[in-house]
Amino acid sequence: MRVSVFLLLTLLVINLAIDWYIYRQVTHRCRNPRLWGRIELWSTVFFLLVLVAGILTPARQGSNNVLLAKMWLIFTYGSVYIPKAIGVVFDLIASIPRLFGHKRIRPVTIGGITIATVTFCGIWWGATINRFAIDNKEVEISLTELPDNFDGYRIAQFSDMHVGTYGNDTSYVSRLVDNINAQHADLIVFTGDMVNRESSEIKPFVDVIARLHAPDGVVAILGNHDYGDYMTWSSDNAQHENIEMLRDAYKAMGIKLLLNETKWIRRGNDSIAVVGVENIGDPPFPIYGSLTKAYPTVGDNVTKVLLSHNPAHWADSIADKEDIKIGLTLAGHTHAMQIELLGISPAALRYKTWGGLYTDSKSDHQLYVNIGAGTVGMPMRLGATPEVTILTLRRRR
């Protein structure tokens, strides 16, 4: 609660400072200062109320509708005040010459207003259009000891659905399912975070996701959001029942949930192991997974595809480890922070491996990070379009 109050007070100060500056400028520069001054004052009051409501709406309690309301309130506030702040900064820069008795550099102000407008439009484009624009990425993976019968084997990966963000609207998820099926992969894998806070979010989507099909089935692992750790529970038993509800939903969808276990895929006399661990991440995310429990002999020569939600697991415990022979790890989790422009994402400040294909120093261990198909926190993807990855395995010659 103290954090929420501190955040609220900080944003209130920033909000008032930005609006005071804008009010001063519009009442001095505009032809109808009284009209523009009133518009600015009333908009200030309105968005202050939006901010207060967004911050004080509980995030760890209440129904999913309460969480969605909080998400959209804060997003709406940010979509207005981020562009406003940009415009103010540019105008302050434009006004520097006035300190020395010169005129304000008007083109800088105009440039700032233009950038602010583009930013506002970009944010809402990301919320209304781009977060539903599915991107199919074809990737070839070369593995040294891949059995001949698996040369050309296709795996479709998707991740981080966060279905609670869509409420009861199944249209996007239905289109995503059809898109994945249309790739005609041999195996479909989901690398965690099906829900936001609680398992009841999956109920409207069970019949839709159950339509996923592939010759070798559909397998999945749990992500950090799937355990209910972002919800305040009345008891440990209530949280346990929440996990059981999600497991039952996976069964109803016909998806094999790998809970520190291995699924074997066979082609004639050849086979590969699809190893699924529960969430293993860096702090503050709890560790539920165990690689050695899922596959005790990690140093053998069997071709293994590991599903591990958080790519930090690969970076910390698999890359450059000669005693661990896992040629390919598939992860998600990062979302590229739902922002990626010209191949640059703020996720790089948090994760060394935030999206795409990575190898260790000897290229013995490869990691592919899918940037997810859903949204959480902010209902927007600025760039970083929803991803379905089609990985084709090739025998390294």
Whether 319 and 309 have beta carbons less than 8 Å apart is answered as no
Statement to judge: residues 347 and 245 lie in one domain:
yes
To the nearest whole number, what is the mean pLDDT of the chain?
Answer: 94
pLDDT tens digit string along 196-231? 999 999 999 999 999 999 999 999 999 999 999 999
- Do 20 and 55 belong together in one domain? yes
Q: Are residues 243 and 353 in the same domain?
A: yes
Number of domains making up the chain: 2
Q: Do residues 139 and 123 share a domain? A: no
Measured distance CA(107)–CA(143) in Å, rounded: 56
* Domain co-membership, 78 together with 149: no
Q: What is the pLDDT of residue 31?
A: 87
**Selection from 291, 372, 304 nearest residue 339 by Cα:** 372
Percent of the chain clearing pLDDT 90 (strictly above): 87
Nearest to 255 by CA among 188, 308, 200, 203: 188
CA dist., res. 195 & res. 109, Å (int): 44
Q: What's the pLDDT at 3?
A: 58
92 and 155 together in one domain: no
Nearest to 194 by CA among 168, 162, 216: 162
Residues 74 and 156 in one domain: no
Per DSSP, the residues of 153-170 read -EEEEE----GGGGTT--
CB 147 within 8 A of CB 100: no
167 plus 301 within the same structural domain: yes
Query: Domain range spanning residue 337?
Result: 135-395
Please say which residue of 83, 108, 128 terminates a domain.
Answer: 128
Task: Tell me which residues of the chain have a pLDDT lower than 70.
Answer: 1-4
Domain ends where: 78, 105, 128? 128
Statement to judge: residues 150 and 240 lie in one domain = yes
| Domain end (from 128, 144, 162) | 128
61 with 177, same domain? no
Please tell me the distance from the alpha carbon of residue 261 to that of residue 257, in angstroms, as a whole number.
Answer: 9
- Considering the domain architecture, whether residues 123 and 91 belong to the same structural domain is answered as yes
Angstrom distance (rounded) from CA 339 to CA 381: 6
Tokens 């968005």 sit at which residue? 47
CATH number of the domain residue 139 falls in? 3.60.21.10
Q: What is the pLDDT of residue 74?
A: 94
CB-based contact 163:194 (threshold 8 Å): yes
Q: Determine what percent of the chain is predicted with pLDDT higher than 70.
A: 99
Residues 269, 357: one domain? Answer: yes
